[in-house]
Chain A
Amino acid sequence: MSSSQQADWYKDSIIYQLHVRTFCDSNGDGIGDFRGLQNRLDYLQELGVNAIWLLPFYPSPLRDDGYDIADYYSVHGSYGTLDDFKSFLAAAKARGIRVIIEMVLNHTSDQHPWFLEARSSHDNPKRDWYVWSETDDRYRQARIIFLDTELSNWAWDPISKAYYWHRFFSHQPDLNFDNFEVREALWDVMKFWLDMGVDGFRLDAVPYLVEREGTNCENLPETHAIIRELRRRLDESFPGRMILAEANQWPADVRAYFGNDDEFHMAFHFPLMPRMFMGLKLEDRKPIIEILQRTPQIPESCQWCIFLRNHDELTLEMVTDIERDYMYDEYARDKTMRINLGIRRRLAPLLDNDRRRIELLNGLLMSLPGTPIVYYGDEIGMGDNIYLGDRNGVRTPMQWNAHFNSGFSSADPERLYSPVISNPVYGYQAINVDSQRRSAHSLLSWTKRLIQVRKTAKVFSRGSIEFLFPANHRVLAYIRELGNERVLAVNNLSDSAQAVELDLRKFKGSIPIEMFGETLFPRIGENPYLLTMGPYQFYWFRLRKI
């Protein structure tokens, strides 16, 4: 059975994350749309990704980049029509690219008709679809997530003269999952898109679905029960479809969202991401190994989703205070770069546009256990604009070429939903797809090759991991193993050349074959296996018994 036919196809996926608005504008209105995206599918196929994760594209006041949904059954007018979406979906599938869409269950926009009805009167049938209170002192143990903007998780509704509950922005009232009708309504929403053919959902903010007094209102058993019911219905009616959890929690807490193979298929591994950056800056494998050693086993059919950057800030919620201070000092000394508990920067600027470090982190992304996610533009090393406010600096138009508006849109630049990056280092004149396509040694070409090599070995997507502990702590080395297939990954986290001796005696007799050049290395024997590595260099060796 090919991976595209397998029920657990998501394990072998390489996911490309994008926002329709940012990718390509087909009608010259300055905003990316589904037709534009469809026109660029060949590029994604060429890149080698086999799944797309679309950020919210629903009708919305766009006060939180679309995570404030005002209509679950349609497409935002700026991005096209439902038919445009269907056309895109078919075109993606024709190329073997699966489509994962965003689904925000926890809350709606305060402009959603459900909320407008609910606030219209205390007797409205939809009143109980949201969480109301006469006072603002319930659920006091629940933390405030958006510390920069919100003072409370309760907001006063002047229309119905009561407080409503919101874990995120005050314009995003939380739905009341204790209400059966709400759960049914949301399953109807999901069914609508599943019937259309989407392959999966990334479910936003899942830990917060249910509130209970005396708790922090996160990860509650009642929330898990709701997920289990949703999964049961999904498996029953749509086998082979996938749900991915967004739960920015410690791995031990996220583990519960896999259940006994009866909740989510995948979940993001949030704490790993900052630790990859930390390990690189510290030139020390410790943070990476520690977090992966603290990561519990998950059911056989489940998979972690790992990433370097995404549309949000580089979140520092899942690090200690000491680690957070370190990350801020090392990666965001300019306070403009900080937002909430994180850093609003893209991959390339975070790494000082150092090609070697960009490659190394991508090498880790593609060789550590999990399904990797590539954030749009990072494959060409796009920059950011930290002066755009909120997280908009990492959501600027895709840079296709060195022409007008970076080839993103034919609209007047003033009409673009966001200015394109145009500084001398990261500007579209310097960094764009077309120019990198023309160079065999560009980051884009290298990324294609990386993805290509990863796809040659199932061990990366499905294999076990065993860390080696060479005396040189700057070198992170591990064995990925699946059946008879073994890959040795060795990563030099430092900016200087390193020598490392690996204890590979258990693979005595095997010949390491470097996977990018198919180069033979000396046979492994009894003695420590000596490797010398350039700054930030990494090797992937297939270990073959010949």
Chain B
Amino acid sequence: MAQISEESFLSDDLLRQLISVGDVDLLVGIPSQAHNDNVASIVRIVEECLLRNFGRERVALIHVNESARNGSDPSTPPSSSLASDSTVESLRTFRWINAKTDSAAPPGSTLRTILLAADLLHAKGCAVIDASAESANPAWVEGLLAPIYREQFDFVSPLYSRHKFDGLLTRNLLYPLCRTLYGKPMRELRATEFAFSGRLAAHCLAQGNWELEGLQASAEMWMAVNAISNDFRCCQTYLGPKPRAGSSAGVVDAIRQTVNGLFWCMESTSSYWLKGVEAQPLRTIGPDHQLTSEPIRVNRKKLFQMYASGVAELSQILGTILGSETHQELVRLTTLDETAFRMSDALWVRTVYEFAAAYHRSVINRDHLVQAFIPIYRGRVCSFLLQHRTSDSTGMETDLEVLYREFERQKNSFIERWNTKGQGAS
């Protein structure tokens, strides 16, 4: 488990920059991977939005980038800066912070850095825009910050227009499960664009045990869940189209990280959802999310093969994690023809709940448990793609609601299972 010393997390360089910037009203965090070519463009977009929409406010931008450690001048704005652009008038000095992250640092360090900056600068609101967000525009920044700054919301989650086969982990797992447990229909719990209040930032810094790997794996989701489960004012705002991810590289890592984070969040907030939470509406600003359905190529056969081989290879582990009925049903499905393959909502939900309970009880090493979940998820995706090959957005939404109700239906038995003492599957 990665250990971060509280004393050393804030580097002297970053501290010096924060001192220079002083209090701000609004902060925008831009996390980026090393050598991300889109950073300059995002910075320009953010700057333009801030100058046009928040011209009187004290604003700053913090770029959290691995390459920053290579020694770029922290006080120098990027070449795209509008500061010298005579068409955009600025009353104030536009402030720019370069934060260094260590490539070996755990993934939550980026958000933690932004939270710390927001807290230390006493920001009233902070938006996070990932540097890889190619469709980001100034309206995104305003859409995220305005509810915080002008309407006193504490957490703003994004809504996008995306392809119906994008965000499948969210659609099949995060959204319906978290809606069931936490009562609020928040679409994007693991967003790369979101906003939060200074109050929430301070709360998360105070609450979070940032040395825990689970939190590190799911910092953004943990924050969203924290906002919901601690009665912070939350809303969703429509940002617009979000293009499909171009490559599937790192998908396994992403699934592992998300599932690990989700189960960890469930555990860390169990006292909240175990008592039973009423379903509540969530304010949506602008249109609801939208689905597009232009044709895309999906290798369903490969997905099915990975499911089948995974279930076979991990049979012993799955037997430890799952109830026998669930396990047997998953095994039976591997014998079907790929085109006839369906993993029903009931089976999927039961499987998810049994994995979550097993994670809670630590029946096996948690990393191994999450790893074992991956082929099951692939099977669910394969089934989902087959089922929705020709679905329109209305049909997709109807089915999503059905899935959510299935999570609700099985919730009580899941809670029972969660509360069962002892090791191993029952």
| Contact surface of A with B, Cβ cutoff 8 Å | 278, 282-287, 320, 322-323, 326, 470-474, 494, 496, 498-501
Which of B19, B20, B75, B92 contacts A284, CB < 8 Å?
A: B92
Alpha-carbon distance A285/B89, docked complex (angstroms):
15
| Contact surface of B with A, Cβ cutoff 8 Å | 16-17, 19-23, 55-56, 58, 75, 89-93, 95
Contacting residues, chain A, for B55 (C-beta < 8 A): 322
Chain B: which residue is nearest A325 at the CB level? B56
Are B89 and A322 interface neighbours, CB within 8 A?
yes
Are A285 and B91 interface neighbours, CB within 8 A?
no
Alpha-carbon distance A498/B93, docked complex (angstroms):
16
Contacting residues, chain A, for B56 (C-beta < 8 A): 326
Are A472 and B19 interface neighbours, CB within 8 A?
yes
Within the complex, the shortest CB–CB distance from B202 to chain A, in Å, comes to 18
Among A285, A473, A496, A500, max chain B CB count under 10 A is at: A473
Are A286 and B20 interface neighbours, CB within 8 A?
no
Contacting residues, chain B, for A471 (C-beta < 8 A): 16-17, 20, 75
Alpha-carbon distance A498/B21, docked complex (angstroms):
10
Alpha-carbon distance A287/B91, docked complex (angstroms):
7
Alpha-carbon distance A284/B21, docked complex (angstroms):
10
Are B20 and A470 interface neighbours, CB within 8 A?
yes
Are A472 and B22 interface neighbours, CB within 8 A?
yes
Chain B: which residue is nearest A471 at the CB level? B20
6 closest residue pairs by CB, A with B: A471-B20, A473-B93, A472-B20, A286-B93, A284-B92, A471-B75
Chain A: which residue is nearest B75 at the CB level? A471
Are B20 and A326 interface neighbours, CB within 8 A?
no
Contacting residues, chain A, for B91 (C-beta < 8 A): 278, 282, 284, 286-287, 322-323, 326
Contacting residues, chain B, for A494 (C-beta < 8 A): 22
Alpha-carbon distance A260/B20, docked complex (angstroms):
42
Contacting residues, chain A, for B93 (C-beta < 8 A): 284-286, 473
Among B16, B20, B75, max chain A CB count under 10 A is at: B20
Contacting residues, chain A, for B58 (C-beta < 8 A): 283-284
11 contacts between A and B (CB under 8 A): A278-B91, A283-B58, A322-B55, A322-B89, A471-B20, A471-B75, A472-B19, A473-B95, A494-B22, A496-B22, A496-B23
Which of A284, A320, A470, A500 contacts B89, CB < 8 Å?
A: A320
Cross-chain pair count, CB within 8 angstroms: 47
Supplied contacts A282-B91, A472-B20, 5 more A-B pairs, CB within 8 Å = A284-B92, A473-B20, A473-B92, A496-B22, A498-B22
Contacting residues, chain A, for B95 (C-beta < 8 A): 473
Alpha-carbon distance A282/B93, docked complex (angstroms):
10
Contacting residues, chain B, for A287 (C-beta < 8 A): 91
Alpha-carbon distance A278/B56, docked complex (angstroms):
11
Chain A: which residue is nearest B83 at the CB level? A286
Alpha-carbon distance A470/B93, docked complex (angstroms):
12
Within the complex, the shortest CB–CB distance from B81 to chain A, in Å, comes to 14
Contacting residues, chain B, for A320 (C-beta < 8 A): 89
Contacting residues, chain A, for B22 (C-beta < 8 A): 283, 472-474, 494, 496, 498
Alpha-carbon distance A470/B56, docked complex (angstroms):
22
Alpha-carbon distance A500/B22, docked complex (angstroms):
11
Among A284, A496, A499, max chain B CB count under 10 A is at: A284
Are B16 and A286 interface neighbours, CB within 8 A?
no
Chain B: which residue is nearest A323 at the CB level? B91
Alpha-carbon distance A450/B121, docked complex (angstroms):
34
Among A278, A285, A322, A323, max chain B CB count under 10 A is at: A322
Chain B: which residue is nearest A501 at the CB level? B16
Chain B: which residue is nearest A473 at the CB level? B93
Alpha-carbon distance A352/B353, docked complex (angstroms):
62
Contacting residues, chain B, for A496 (C-beta < 8 A): 22-23
Alpha-carbon distance A310/B95, docked complex (angstroms):
34
Are A282 and B89 interface neighbours, CB within 8 A?
no
Within the complex, the shortest CB–CB distance from A375 to chain B, in Å, comes to 26
Among B17, B75, B89, B93, max chain A CB count under 10 A is at: B93
Contacting residues, chain B, for A322 (C-beta < 8 A): 55, 89, 91
Contacting residues, chain B, for A472 (C-beta < 8 A): 19-22
Alpha-carbon distance A175/B200, docked complex (angstroms):
67
Alpha-carbon distance A500/B19, docked complex (angstroms):
8
Alpha-carbon distance A287/B93, docked complex (angstroms):
9
Alpha-carbon distance A286/B19, docked complex (angstroms):
18
Alpha-carbon distance A286/B59, docked complex (angstroms):
14
Chain B: which residue is nearest A285 at the CB level? B93
Contacting residues, chain A, for B16 (C-beta < 8 A): 471, 501
Alpha-carbon distance A282/B58, docked complex (angstroms):
8
Alpha-carbon distance A494/B93, docked complex (angstroms):
14
Alpha-carbon distance A500/B23, docked complex (angstroms):
14
Chain A: which residue is nearest B55 at the CB level? A322
Within the complex, the shortest CB–CB distance from A332 to chain B, in Å, comes to 15
Within the complex, the shortest CB–CB distance from B410 to chain A, in Å, comes to 54
Are A286 and B17 interface neighbours, CB within 8 A?
no
Contacting residues, chain A, for B23 (C-beta < 8 A): 496
Alpha-carbon distance A320/B20, docked complex (angstroms):
27
Within the complex, the shortest CB–CB distance from A169 to chain B, in Å, comes to 33
Chain A: which residue is nearest B89 at the CB level? A322
Alpha-carbon distance A278/B93, docked complex (angstroms):
13
- Whether A282 touches B19, Cβ cut-off 8 Å, given contacts A322-B55, A326-B56, A471-B75, is no
